[in-house]
Structure 1
Amino acid sequence: MGGVVLGFTTVAVVIAVGALVAHVGVLGAEGQTVLARAAFYLGSPALLLTTVAEADVRTVISGGLLATTSGVLVCAAVYLLVARWRWRRRGAELAVGALCASYVNAGNLGLPIAAYVLGDAAFVAPTLLLQLLVLQPVAVAVLQGGESGRGSGPGRSVARALANPLTIGTLAGLGLSLSGTRLPDEVGAPVGLVADLAVPAMLLSYGMALRLGARLGPRPPTAELAVVVVLKVLVQPVVVWLVAAGPLGLDELTALAVTVCSALPTAQNVFVLAVRYGRQVGLARDGVLVSTVASTVAVAAVVLVLG
């Protein structure tokens, strides 16, 4: 339980610092955008490269991956159906909303919680790589299509996704992992230093957005926000546990691990993507905040009930 408290406390403190610097006027809306873009173009690609390069890709080919995928698909599909029918969302707006409902904060929360609560940070690897190699490139392709205002044929979508800095970092890391290659210290040290920028930049940017409020996106419909949060912190872990403990028959520790990971809140980089492409910024901002608060209860409940 100490890992849960440590992970959430660390995130809350850095977000609060971001809100404070915005409140006192050290940085304004322009500074918030600069931080978000720095995280998107510099820190995050370097972090993805180093994270994926150090992961054992074989852990992705596991029952845990199937259980995790089931939760993502169910939550994303439910949001897409409801949002398309109820709020007439389309294209890029649907992409951001679906990420809010299913994209787990597996980096700065998942890694410490997996290490401290579950005893092995490797438990979060399937979730990380599923999101980095599949969900994020697909969402970015849709978002870039919406930004350009052009149609998104399969070839064009793939080309845009491959040209994205986040995808480039992920694929570079995957190549290093599969080949067993280690970056020389002369390259690895500066890349690692830039990677250290990603999480604090995302969290500070998010905290500033909370303080700056509507200037960084209007408030989303309350019902839409509620749907996103319920799907993220309640429906997703329930679906994952049912699949893991039922059809897949995973052992108790693995079932617990994938369920805990699925109960984590919406990742801050969903907000970074929303700011970068100017879509559903309010929903991403509020979805991250509310799901983070709600998931503290959800994660604790999963650990107490299944642990």
Structure 2
Amino acid sequence: MGLVLTVLEIVAPVFILAAIGFAWVRLGYEFNMNFVTRLTMSLSVPCLIFMALIGTELDPAAVSALSLAAVVSYGALALVTAGVLLALGLSMRTYLAPLIFGNTGNLGLPVALFAFGETGLGYAVVVFAVMAIWSFTFGIWIVAGGGSVIKALKEPLLWGTVLGGIFLWQGWQVPVFLGNTLSLLGQISIPVMLLTLGVAVARLTPSSVLKALGLSLLKLVLCVGIAWEAGRLFGLSGEAFTILVIQLSTPVAVTSFLLAEKYGADADSVAGLVVVSTLVSVPALPILLALLL
């Protein structure tokens, strides 16, 4: 019973905030998705990543091992998923990126924070940063059907990650007034992202539910298995291992739907994946946490 209550204490705030966002839209209240998304992804989340990296007291060796494990995990997941999609005859442009990149921001960061506090958040930010680099380079390249990866250089998320990594490596700090300002900006990201998740799910109209369910379960199994093996391969243990598995196992991100819509992939099918995989995560994440804690 104690473990069950611990898991509920971790995941309940996450899903309650998402439910508030869902209910907010269903009740007819206004929510400017474009403004909120731009605010969080262009300003708040980069600040969160930067401050989490420069303020981390994590073992540098553990951070390096986790980073390498995350890079290898996403690479292996891309290869395996591409093979599965080829075998099933499904579109790479539509399905590959959503099945690789999970909701490590809106969902993964809060779960890590509530489960392990600031230490867990620090580890989760590392995985989120690796995912962001993969997503805004390889991910956009896939969804767009090719083209230049120079688009990634325009993403504040990338620069927040790079600068945070440099400061961490060199042991640099920022002036207190600037650090406090960046911390405040970063702190708004987690509750706002959870509300946005609920709003986005409320506005989506999924189709082909059975296909979305099958692919969502496939994503969960592949992500858990690959993250588990990568974590063991790089000698991760404790919180770092748990965070890697949880982050890789998060459901399809809403940004996958936005990118599909922007670059002309099958946005309706991706919308179905977002909704169904998020619903699957409601029981799946607590069970996974209970096994890993």
TM-score (norm 2): 0.78
In the other structure, the counterpart of 1:205 is 196
For the residues of structure 2 that align with 1:166 and 1:194, how far apart are their CA atoms? 14
Q: 1:141 aligns with which of 128, 137, 155?
A: 137
Q: Is the 8 A contact 1:260 1:302 kept in 2?
A: no
Judged with a 3 Å threshold, the aligned counterparts in structure 2 of structure 1 residues 70 and 104 are, in CA distance, closer, same or farther, namely farther
Count residues with an aligned counterpart.
281
Residue number in structure 2 paired with 1:43: 44
Q: Which residue of 1 aligns with 2:91?
A: 89
* Corresponding residue for residue 29 of structure 2: 26
The residue that corresponds to 2:264 in the other structure is none
Is 1:271 aligned with 2:272? no
- Contact kept, 8 Å, 1:274 with 1:281, in 2: the verdict is yes
The correspondence for 1:236, drawn from 207, 213, 223, is: 223
Question: Equivalents in 1 of 2:110, 2:127: separation in Å?
Answer: 16
Q: 2:173 aligns with which of 166, 171, 182?
A: 182
Q: CA deviation at 1:88?
A: 2.5
Q: CA 1:175–1:244 in structure 2 vs 1: closer, same or farther (change >3 Å)?
A: closer
**Separation in structure 2 between the aligned mates of residue 302 and residue 14 of structure 1, nearest angstrom:** 24
- Report if aligned partners of 1:71, 1:262 keep a CA contact under 8 Å in 2: no
What residue identity is the alignment partner of 1:138? W
> Which runs of 5 or more structure 1 residues have no equivalent in the other structure?
116-120
**Which structure 2 residues correspond to residues 160-199 of structure 1 after superposition, within 5 A?**
160-199=151-190
Structure 2: gaps spanning 5 or more residues = 262-266
How far does residue 93 in structure 1 lie from its aligned partner after superposition?
A: 4.3
Give TM-score scaled by structure 1 length: 0.75
Tell me, what secondary structure is at the counterpart of 1:109?
Answer: helix
2 CA distance for matches of 1:281 and 1:142?
20
Does the Cα contact within 8 Å between 1:241 and 1:256 map onto a contact in 2?
A: no
Going from structure 1 to structure 2, the CA distance change for 1:101 and 1:168 (only over 3 Å counts) comes to closer
Given that 2:204 and 2:275 are in contact with CA atoms closer than 8 Å, whether structure 1 keeps it comes out as: no
Query: Which residue in 1 is equivalent to 2:287?
Result: 297
RMSD across aligned positions (CA): 3.4
- Report deviation, 1:195: 1.2
**What letter is aligned with 1:179?**
Q
Question: Aligned in 2, Cα 1:123/1:65: closer, same or farther, shift over 3 Å?
Answer: farther
Identity %: 17
